[in-house]
Amino acid sequence: MKTRFLTTSAVLAMTTALAAPALAADCPIKIGGLAPLSAPGSVTGGEAMRAAMRIAVDEINEAGGVLGCPVELVVVDTEGLPERGRAVMERLITQDNVVAVGGGYHSSVGLASKGIANDAGIPVVFAETWNDNITADQQRFIFRLAPLSSEVAAIYANFAVSAPGVEKVVIIAENTDYGLPASDMTRQGLEEAGISTTIYTVDIGTQDFSGIIQRIRADRPDMIIQVLTGEAAYNFTQQAAEAGIGPGDLIMTCDQNALESAAFWQNVPDGNLCFMNRIGLPVAAYTERTTAFEAAYVAATGKDAAESYAMEAYDSIMVIAQAINEAGSTDGDAIVDALEAISYDGVLGTITFPINSSNTPEQAGVEAKWWHQFPDPAITVVQYQVTGQSSVDAPVVYPQVYQTGEPIWANQ
């Protein structure tokens, strides 16, 4: 479904870029899109990202394309698996002849596939891969819009400290390149604050959590933090609720795919009071661009709101298109140079990559993880406070700078 929701300023920016002298480009210009569309990956997240990337390409083409050429989006299914990620990245580069790649959900896929793109000189703007090492090795062709796992872990640790009566936390984490480091960094933050922590790990795509739930009940924690992805998180939350340790019984965080309200309430009818991480501007701070994208996304998908990973996927394609236009070329090095200098007004805010080859981490006095990293994604915690509530209506309860409502604590 085509959409017509580009803002006037965005259309002017694109047409101005199109009017500039451009190097020869083969038409159509192909951009790859990574998304988990099969289990054990997060299928709900992957479908959301695919829809968002398609909206981006429709808008780009309605505005005149890139370098006078239409853009063709080639979406591949990563299945959330590293070996599959490597295979589809190779296919995009060697068979589909893409000039750049956006999207990407699972950190394991990003870590496994990014070297292939970097060695081939194909720029990648990852949308939703949180592992710090996605960018920490400072590969020239790798960029990221998603927040760093270490930054999200700090938010969750501080949130737990703010909760009343939390002295013992259980973290349940998937055994992946996302789950393991994220849970360990969260544990470190909690223990530095004097909160004892136990971590249980499960394989990606686990469906039956009964054994671990029995062990968690025996631990008698004050709070449960989930570091899971995909539909497995729905299963854990509902099974925990049925066992008496769900969101209504204990303070609990849910995976961000809980933001897909219809799917969440269908699979987790006892999920009220769950806290969720949401990346991107809070609804109260939406820009004209954010509002326009959400309208397009709702019209295309029939959902009631756009999830944070959909916003990231949309912006990953749009920032690539703007970089190609500003570079006047589909050459990988030229696109990287443009991305390093870019200022793109996206649905996530104004996207820049200020730590780059002209301002290295050493020169800027920051850790290597900030290389080619969007530094300003809003990281918030929202909470369902009414059964059946839309995630867009769920109040932001943390941090205070974005807060629109007070948290409701399950153990009070």
- pLDDT profile of the chain (412 residues), mean per 10: 39 39 70 97 95 98 98 98 98 98 97 98 97 97 97 94 96 95 96 96 94 96 95 96 96 94 96 95 90 97 94 98 98 98 96 98 98 95 96 94 94 60
CATH number reported for the structural domain that contains residue 252 in this entry: 3.40.50.2300
Do 326 and 238 share a structural domain? no
Query: Is 410 within a domain?
Result: no
The pLDDT value recorded for residue 25 is 65
Do 258 and 187 share a structural domain? yes
Query: Is 95 within a domain?
Result: yes
Do 143 and 13 share a structural domain? yes
The pLDDT value recorded for residue 411 is 64
Which residues face 170 on adjacent strands? 198, 224
Say how many domains are in the chain: 2
**Cα 122 to Cα 335: distance, rounded to the nearest angstrom:** 9
Rounded to two decimals, the pTM is 0.89
Do 135 and 55 share a structural domain? yes
Length reported for the chain: 412
Query: Is 329 within a domain?
Result: yes
What range does the domain containing 293 cover? Answer: 8-148+286-370
**Cα 181 to Cα 131: distance, rounded to the nearest angstrom:** 7
Query: Is 342 within a domain?
Result: yes
Do 200 and 70 share a structural domain? no
Query: Is 409 within a domain?
Result: no
Q: How far is CA 164 from CA 14, 167, 303, in A?
A: 50, 9, 35
Q: Which residues contact 399 (CB under 8 A, 6 or more apart)?
A: 155, 158, 159, 379, 380, 381
**Cα 368 to Cα 387: distance, rounded to the nearest angstrom:** 43
Do 108 and 22 share a structural domain? yes
Do 323 and 193 share a structural domain? no
CB-based burial, 119-147: b 16+ in 10 Å, e otherwise: eeebbbbbbbbbbbbbbbebbbbbbbbbb
Query: Is 30 within a domain?
Result: yes
Do 358 and 259 share a structural domain? no
Query: Is 240 within a domain?
Result: yes
Do 251 and 395 share a structural domain? yes
Do 274 and 170 share a structural domain? yes
Do 326 and 178 share a structural domain? no
Do 56 and 73 share a structural domain? yes
The pLDDT value recorded for residue 310 is 97
